[in-house]
Structure 1
Amino acid sequence: MAGMLAARVLADAYTEVLVIERDNLTGSTGPRKGVPHGRHAHALLAAGHQIIEELFPNLIDDLVASGVPAGDLAQNLRWYVNGRRLQPAPAGLISLSATRPVLEDAVRARVSALPNVNIADGCDITRVTTTKDRSRVTGVRYVRREDGNTDEEEVAADLVVDATGRSSRTTAWLAELGYAQPPETRVKVGLAYTTRHFRLRTDPYGTDLSINPIATPDNPRGAFFPKLPGDMSMCSLTGLLGDHPPADLEGFLAFAKSLPVPDIYDAIQDAEPLDEGVTFRFPASVRRHFERLTAFPDRLLVIGDGVCSFNPVYGQGMTVAAQEAMALRTQLRSGRAPDSRRYFSDIAKIIDAPWEISAGADLAFPQVEGKRTLKVRMANKYMSKLHAAATQDGTLTAAFMRAAGLVDPPTALMRPSVMLKVLRAPST
């Protein structure tokens, strides 16, 4: 998604955009190897929906017309905290119940249709090429992965954007070129998703798009149970710190039964299983601080998970990548090639808020390693009170979802009108 969104904004500024993709995309409509989390529940946050609609007008309407369920993020999704439902209320934020492959295919189709965009799939980039003084990147070398081919090809470029995600080799390339490594911040969460698909005997959703018990320190097991088109349903169970959901059906059902609400177990206990369980492990959130480097080669940028890989339970990855693509578009509109250090400084400001939300929330779990500043401790205590109050007041649910959806900044939850409702809420 980061690469497709980058290609979309680059197409407005360059004569030709070449996307070099490691996976074979021809005829591919399902999960693929390059997106290991693609088999599991995904979320495009509200801010991401807004950007997608700006870059690809009517794409959301087209998905809804194709049968993808849609509704209001705070009103039509069933959110639970410690076994209690957050009071639903309209927030004016659309939520699509689309799988990652469906959303990605729709975006890729739009990008592929652009006359100056070409996609070379089934290729592995081996290294970047540079000027003799190594101050500027001039292109890449890559191998077409077919019939055991090992011959490198070289393509020149005015700009190289690394959108290869968590497996990004930019840090290795920097070392080879004699540049310093970016400092990293890590939050070890030991997370795992396990997902199975079912054909349900009864409808547990009603008018809701999804049933989502949120993991908390008191109830660290969570789940995402989205409504999909047709008669198939997806259930993704989540567990932190090594407490991973089993893939076998018996263990999967037992884990679902241990959730603080019965809705999901009640729906799947007698459902028809349609596949084997698949597990995805996510050891740590990682933020690479490229913005702190004093030197960086010109004409090379990194976007998406290669800069910051968020704990996926917060659904921030695709939306932050979209925001970074918009920051790139802003630079491109100057008519000059993007400045690497300015770009990294700009996207660092974008990353700050979602990182504060997700990393701070992870540090509420006592076993998660990391520095708990006074700000983090106070924020987590306040959020616990806000969630409790939101079980009685839907306006607080809407406010929380606007911040979690990256439409409003986290500071919006500290507005006097919001704080007054939180502090006045009865203890539960």
Structure 2
Amino acid sequence: MSGKRSQTGDRVVILGGSVTGMFAAGALAESYREVIVVDRDQIVGVREARRGAPQARHINGLLVQGARNMEELFPDITAEMIAAGCPMTDLSGTVRWYFGDKPLRQIRAGLTNVGSTRPVLEYHLRERVKALGNVTFMEGYDITGLATTPDRSRVTGARVQSRDDGGEEVVVEADLVIDATGRGSRTPVWLEALGYPRVEEEGTKVGVGYATRQYRMRSDPFGSDHSIICVANPALPRGAIFTKTDGGKVELTTYGILGDHPPTDPEGFTLFVKSLVAPEIYESIVEAEPLTDPVLFRFPTTLRRRYERMARLPEGLLVMGDAVCTPSPVFAQAQSLAAIEALALRDQVRSGVPPQPREFMAQVGRIIDPAWEMTEAMNLVHPRMEGRRTRKVRFLHWYMKRVQQAALTDPKVTEALMRSAGLVDQDALLRPGVIWRVLRSRP
């Protein structure tokens, strides 16, 4: 944290203490006298998956730009995590990508990230936030609503209630309230109750279900690689992420779309993995020592709340992360988008001017737009997925198929694909040199 603060305000209350909440705390702590993080769970010092974040039992990861932004918010956190036993990966150089039955050509391109389980990532983030000195954690509190001025034009705090003693509801006053409570955010309901229009929502029924199991390996399917990733495709709408993680463990999340979910009994889970296009995953797990039983998480629809289209919003309230947008987990974008939003917020408050909700939510919308448009279009590559396949979408499907074919033999195309997927350069696949490489490859 910078030694000199711009003192944009007195107090911030952040609703939700997971990854997005920690990014928001890191972004705001230098510009506000006090930051209070409210969460229903006990979170400080916790290294295990908690009840309030069931998806934390599965592979969660920052993409390249998300990892870079995390490092910008918390300098040297990457080195700290590596020293604590988390491995490093290069998205185009040490990940074995399958978009069909053959892996893409690899190239080390500095598209790096640290691999950890989500509870370990959250632990390191919370330790760094706690060390900032002006952050207080209110653990074990339900968030029951917002406090506002009598005319409801400004949010003045959050209403909370202790889960331990069932005490009276209290108001934690604040200059700024950040909703980082995730997909289950109550802000749309609270705003409507205050007389604001209901925020517009959109999404696609993807029917994703993914199951995760951890192992201690007895054979090595990775070689010099860090991860093996199979991407679901129209011929086989199943995929997996098989990756080294903290503590010398290996984590496997396998998924299916449109209701084709992996079983949670160990035998059924293993047979599901056998159907994947990367045989080395199955061959290695049948010899491995399972450390956990399979656990399933269902993700029925993508969701985007269009706060940027709201004609009016109360002052003193911002919404971030999954509370705004939850893309399909297949693309692993949510945490990275939250990190990008947090850095944009930090840069804004450093000026000493409090963020204006409509302006900031418009900025969040611009951050989300390219990733959302790409992934929503790519969801529709599966024929049974419901949605409008415009001429633009059909062209994108054709071009991405050519990209994946070209990347089987051209590592520069792999690099461009991963620069785009990693949110580093979302126009990387549209650069003239890359288009030429793609179109000259044999389909």
TM-score, normalized by the shorter chain, greater than 0.5: yes
User: Does structure 1 conserve the Cα–Cα contact (< 8 Å) formed by 2:86 and 2:247?
Assistant: no
Aligned to 2:8: none
- Paired residues of 2:262 and 2:268 also in contact (CA < 8 A): yes
Please report how far the alpha carbon of residue 219 of structure 1 lies from its aligned counterpart in structure 2 after TM superposition: 1.8
SS at match of 2:212: strand
Question: Which residue does the alignment assign to 1:204?
Answer: 221
Cα contact 2:89–2:114 (8 A) shared by 1: yes
State the identity %: 48
Equivalent residue number for residue 413 of structure 1: 429
The correspondence for 2:243, drawn from 220, 223, 226, is 226
Aligned partners of 2:406 and 2:413 also within 8 Å: yes
**C-alpha displacement at 1:364, in angstroms?**
1.0
Using the TM superposition, give the Cα deviation of residue 26 of structure 1 relative to its aligned residue in structure 2, in angstroms: 4.4
Cα pair 2:21 2:180 within 8 Å, conserved: yes
Task: Provide the residue aligned with 1:322 in structure 2.
Answer: 339
- Give the residue type in structure 1 aligned to 2:434: V
Matching residue of 1:268: 285
Q: Is the 8 A contact 2:41 2:50 kept in 1?
A: yes
- In the alignment, what sits opposite 1:13? 31
Distance 2:431 2:338 in 1: 28
Residues in 1 aligned to 2:43 and 2:434: alpha-carbon distance in whole angstroms: 47
- Counterparts of residues 394-413 of structure 1 (less than 5 Å): 394-409=411-426, 411-413=427-429
SS at match of 2:32: coil
Structure 2 SS opposite 1:18:
strand
Q: Say if 2:44 and 2:126, in contact at 8 Å, map to a contact too.
A: no
Secondary structure (helix, strand or coil) at the match of 1:287 reads strand
1:164 aligns with 2:174: no
1:141 match = 159
Aligned length: 425
- Cα distance, 1:232 vs structure 2: 2.7
Deviation at 1:412, TM superposition (A): 2.2
Question: CA 1:256–1:18 in 2, change beyond 3 Å: closer, same or farther?
Answer: same
- 2:391 matched residue in structure 1: 374
Residue 331 of structure 1: how far off its partner (Å): 2.2
Matches within 5 A, 1:124-135: 124-135=142-153
Q: Secondary structure at the match of 2:46?
A: coil
- CA-to-partner distance for each residue in 1:320-342, whole Å, 9 max, x for gaps? 00111112122212312110000
Code of the aligned partner of 1:176: A
What secondary structure is seen at the aligned counterpart in 1 of 2:255? strand
User: What whole-Å deviation, never above 9, does each CA across 1:340-391 have from its counterpart, x for those lacking one?
Assistant: 0000111100000110221111111111112222211111210111001101
| Alpha-carbon distance in structure 1 between the residues aligned to 2:329 and 2:389 | 21
Q: Tell me, yes or no, if structure 1 residue 424 matches structure 2 residue 425.
A: no
Q: How does 1:276-315 map to 2 (within 5 A)?
A: 276-315=293-332
Say whether residues 1:33 and 2:60 are aligned partners: no
Runs of 5+ in structure 2 lacking a partner? 1-18
Residue 42 (str. 1) matches residue 60 (str. 2): yes
Q: CA deviation at 1:115?
A: 1.2
Please report the RMSD computed on the Cα atoms of aligned residues, expressed in angstroms: 1.2
Secondary structure of the residue aligned to 1:38 is: helix
> Structure 1: which amino acid aligns with 2:56?
G
Contact residue 327 and residue 334 of structure 2 kept, 8 A: yes
Task: Note if contact 2:219-2:287 (Cα within 8 Å) is conserved in structure 1.
Answer: no
Q: How far off its partner does 1:27 sit?
A: 4.4
8 Å contact from structure 1 (residues 126, 142) kept in 2 = yes
Would you say the 8 A contact 2:147–2:157 is kept in 1?
yes
- Which of residues 248, 253, 256 is equivalent to 2:273? 256
Q: Equivalences for 1:71-220 in 2 at 5 Å?
A: 71-147=89-165, 149-220=166-237
The residue type equivalent to 2:145 in the other structure is R
Query: How many Å apart are 1:75 and its aligned residue?
Result: 0.6
Cα displacement (A) at 1:71: 2.7
Please, which moves more after superposition, 266-275 or 299-308? 266-275
* Deviation (angstroms), 1:200: 2.0
Q: Name the SS for the 1:296 alignment partner.
A: coil
Name the SS for the 1:15 alignment partner. Answer: strand
Query: Where does structure 1 differ by over 6 angstroms across 4 or more consecutive aligned residues?
Result: none
Cα 1:285–1:214 shift into 2, 3 Å: same
Which amino acid counterpart does residue 253 of structure 1 have in structure 2?
T
1:60 and 2:78 correspond: yes
Q: Is the 8 A contact 2:148 2:155 kept in 1?
A: yes
CA distance, structure 2, for counterparts of residue 87 and residue 370 of structure 1:
32
Does structure 2 conserve the Cα–Cα contact (< 8 Å) formed by 1:91 and 1:401? Answer: no
Matched, 1:247 2:264: yes
